[in-house]
Structure 1
Amino acid sequence: MDASAKSRRASKRVTMMDVAKAAGCSQATVSVVLNNTKDIKISAELRARVVEAARSLGYGMGGIVRRAAMPELRGGCVGFIVDQISTTPEAVNAIEGARQESWEDEVTILVAQTQGRAEHEERALERLLRAGAQGIVYMSIFTRRVAPGPAFDNLPVPMVLLNCYTSDHRFPSVVPDEINGGRMATKAMIELGHRRIGMVTGESFMEAAQDRLIGYRRALKEAGLPYDDQLIAEGSWTPTSGYEATQKLLALQDRPTAIFCQNDKMAMGCFNAIRDAGLQVPQDISVIGYDDDELGRHLRPQLTTVDLPHRAMGAWAIRQLEEQSTGGTKPPAVHKVSCTLIERASAGALSIS
């Protein structure tokens, strides 16, 4: 075989079929393993064989040669791999925070949206590395545990997880301190004199909803107030669900004097339900939201809320990539960034009649 033929073979893109051949299994099995499909049972031995074959062949890396040294970021580029960009402002805020942090170092931010699909993530990673990305930020639109595929193992550049984390903590991760955010919002109501504080939660399977509820309960406990299940109504992050959940809270014989909504969209529905009941915000019922969505500034009265620190998280991710690229100390497995209470006009002191 001549040199040019060898070169063409060496540069050939490794396919899933190549991995299947090396692992001695079907291409479908490789897909199931590498996409981390949970509802199909595959033996641990076969799973390990597929992962090892993919790693040894460099599957998902497009033949990129792995380097031991971490490149510096200055004057280079950073790749963002995001599951969703357009549905909420959080991804844009994180990217903007990263841009602001790296602007003086002339770092270019490259962004790829993947819809959370493993094959899209691998393709995005390959193309970002080919484009010269000297660091990767892997971001989820909602806080959760993730399992990046084998293509993300042994990268030639540092990687940071933003708004997500892995169970083995092999990558530095940054998430919002949701427990303290929920505690902060509830404590603000308590300090205004409220003792019956309702909560409209997001979908209960989501970590943000769980942690904000933990913070709510913690604030009640610290104030010596009892927790009452009747004061908790589940929504689904939408204005309609906030409206319906608030109706349930208002129907209680001893209704709340304040309501903490776990996001601003549900708070908007909460406002409408309160007004449709012939009541006023905050004279009759105070309301606090969460996220600091722009719509909160357009509600009347303007919405008191908790700011999600995605800009700060994006900036932290860039700093962490710089630390890793220069051999700096690794941070704690999961770094939590504090949320901020944004005080406006929808939360007022409890009026004693």
Structure 2
Amino acid sequence: MTSKPTMMDVATRAGVSQATVSLVLNGSPGTRFSDATRAKVHQAAEELGYRLVRRAQSPAPAETKVIAFIADELTADPWMALAFEGAREKALAQGVSVTLAISRGGDMPDETVFNQFMQGPLLGFIYGTILTREVEPPAPLFQVPSVLLNCYDRKRRLPSVLPGDLEGGRAATERLIRAGRRRIAIINGQDGLDASRDRLRGYRQALASNDMSFDPELVEWGNWEPQAGYDGTRRFLSLKQPPDAIFCANDLMAVGCYEALKEAGLRIPQDMAVIGFDNREIAQFMRPPLTTLVLPHYDIGEAATELLFDLAGRLQPRHDQIKVECQLLERGSVEVQDDGAAGATEAGSRIAG
């Protein structure tokens, strides 16, 4: 490899998720992995020459400040843990520690939580939310350098770092179009959430850019769980003109989608192409392995820390909101059809029958 290996490179070689690599290499307490999984991760890291930053490259002075990383949730999904690891590794490279605090209940914590950190040698705050959403920042975040992670202030008084959900939705849909699919459905997340809204917007933009009409019948609203993917797929298959591809707005709904397609005797991707979103660990073990997009929370954590260092150094950020690209991971659930649109029509006829 000509460039410096990343944690994602280690995850790909070891055949595990980026979260697993982070937890194994950090020796995080309370995690349960088999000896075989741990060995695969360490072997992949060794082969690639990947080295996890565990301490500053030079001794940090006694007055070095710390970053307070405050999140509204850590255990429900791996995303915030990944964001914290990205922030921690980036900060450690500069000799700065990161302290983690969890705000229970999903609401913005009381100002006293922030004020407690301000009594010590604080460099600044990173405040993150498990769901991409608007927040109302409390007063302490305006008193020291602060960055919002996976959330934003509508007035843009504070800089924020978010996943590129709109571009990700567009990339997923365009990948299906390049595969020759012409009737593409989407099983989306819950209505009203930012991620659902933006992934649907990206889907619609891709259709419009390729002169394909938007059909409301091909939109199913779910709840991010496998059952929603199963139920949505069954409804699509009952249509007079069923789709020839399904974009699932997260990988868990793709699990349910796979099950419904297999019950119907349909092959993936020959009869129905499927693409997911998030790159959960299960995606690579589905059969066929699921083509999906990475939810880049590790990179978001790194970017938030870089922004915070700029603010602490009195450098004005070039952008008050950064969108981090969701990388497309090609696996086996989408293929290019040799006969183009004709193949798509034939697959649709088979499904209808």
Tell me whether the two structures share a fold, i.e. TM-score over 0.5.
yes
Give the one of 212, 219, 240 matched to 1:232.
219
Q: Which residue of 2 aligns with 1:331?
A: 318
Q: Is the 8 A contact 2:86 2:300 kept in 1?
A: yes
- 2:148 matches 1:152: no
- 2:50 matches 1:81: no
Q: Is the 8 A contact 2:64 2:121 kept in 1?
A: no
CA distance in 2, matches of 1:268, 1:226: 27
**Gapped runs of 5+ residues in structure 1?**
1-71
1:31-110 superposed matches below 5 A: 75-110=64-99
Shift of 1:325: 0.9
Q: Which residue of 2 aligns with 1:205?
A: 192
Q: Which residue of 1 aligns with 2:287?
A: 300
CA distance in 2, matches of 1:259, 1:73: 55
1:336-351 superposed matches below 5 A: 336-350=323-337
Q: Which residue of 2 aligns with 1:43?
A: none
Specify the structure having the higher radius of gyration (Cα).
1
Identity of matched residues, % = 37
- 2:126 matches 1:141: no
Give the one of 116, 130, 145 matched to 1:127.
116
Q: Which residue of 1 aligns with 2:36?
A: none
- 2:161 matches 1:174: yes
Q: Is the 8 A contact 2:63 2:121 kept in 1?
A: no
CA distance in 2, matches of 1:255, 1:245: 12
Secondary structure of 1:316's aligned partner: helix
Secondary structure of 2:77's aligned partner: coil
CA distance in 2, matches of 1:112, 1:328: 27
**Gapped runs of 5+ residues in structure 2?**
1-60, 347-353
Q: Where in structure 1 do 4 or more consecutive aligned residues deviate above 6 Å?
A: none
Q: Which residue of 2 aligns with 1:117?
A: 107
Give the one of 259, 262, 272 matched to 1:272.
259
Give the one of 174, 178, 185 matched to 1:191.
178
Shift of 1:73: 12
Shift of 1:149: 2.5
Q: Is the 8 A contact 1:304 1:344 kept in 2?
A: yes
CA distance in 2, matches of 1:258, 1:174: 31
Aligned length: 279
Quote the RMSD (CA, aligned, Å). 1.8
Tell me the TM-score normalised to structure 2 length: 0.76
Q: Is the 8 A contact 1:73 1:107 kept in 2?
A: no
Q: Which amino acid aligns with 2:201?
A: I
Q: Which amino acid aligns with 1:145?
A: E
Shift of 1:132: 2.8
Shift of 1:278: 1.3
CA distance in 1, matches of 2:296, 2:151: 14
1:272-291 superposed matches below 5 A: 272-291=259-278
Shift of 1:122: 2.3
Provide Cα deviations, 1:71-103, integer angstroms capped at 9, x if missing partner. Answer: x99943211111111111110111111122122
Give the one of 304, 317, 321 matched to 2:308.
321
CA distance in 1, matches of 2:69, 2:147: 10
Secondary structure of 1:123's aligned partner: helix
Secondary structure of 1:105's aligned partner: coil
CA distance in 1, matches of 2:235, 2:119: 54
Q: Is the 8 A contact 1:306 1:342 kept in 2?
A: yes
Secondary structure of 2:293's aligned partner: strand
Shift of 1:121: 4.0
Shift of 1:330: 2.6
CA distance in 1, matches of 2:83, 2:240: 43
CA distance in 2, matches of 1:147, 1:241: 31
